[in-house]
């Protein structure tokens, strides 16, 4: 895959380095660690929108992963510098689908769809997103890239 796919939708980028702890004995990233990389990307995405997960939790708002679909394309290796891109595919009142990818330069290593539900962590039940959070997600998914720092189109 080329960078055209990466450029197709408005996305936020988070960069990370592959450490020894992320790999198996052959220096290849263990498959489950890609989920950790994607989680970091979503956390930084929320930060870009002005929301800190710790503060949201104090306000009884959390996002719980309800489903994941991931396509592993190529392996990441020890010391690779990776880009995790995050965009919004679908937005509803209590649910959000992220479109995420992991890249090494122009090489697509993994693409994934992650569905998350907005939940009240004290009750473990789904709730509608607070209006300001929902509006920020809406703004992100409809504004041009120049209006959003740290983005790609």
Q: Catalytic amino acids? A: 24
| Cβ–Cβ < 8 Å for 96, 63 | yes
Q: Which two tokens stand for residue 24?
A: 């198996």
Nearest C-alpha neighbor of 121 from the set 50, 71, 37, 62: 62
Three-class DSSP category at 72: strand
């Amino acid at each position: 895959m080329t960078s055209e796919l990466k450029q197709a939708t408005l996305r936020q980028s988070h960069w990370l380095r592959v450490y020894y702890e992320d790999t198996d004995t052959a220096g290849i990233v263990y498959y489950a660690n890609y989920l950790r990389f994607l989680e970091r990307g979503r956390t930084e995405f929320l930060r870009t929108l002005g929301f800190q997960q710790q503060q949201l939790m104090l306000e009884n708002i959390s996002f719980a992963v309800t489903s994941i679909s991931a396509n592993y394309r190529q392996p990441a290796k020890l010391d690779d510098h990776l880009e995790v891109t995050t965009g919004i595919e679908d937005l509803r009142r209590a649910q959000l689908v992220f479109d995420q990818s992991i890249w090494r330069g122009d090489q697509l290593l993994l693409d994934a769809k992650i569905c998350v539900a907005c939940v009240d962590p004290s009750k473990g039940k789904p709730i509608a997103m607070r209006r300001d959070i929902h509006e920020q997600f809406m703004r992100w998914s409809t504004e041009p890239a120049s209006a959003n720092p740290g983005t790609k189109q």
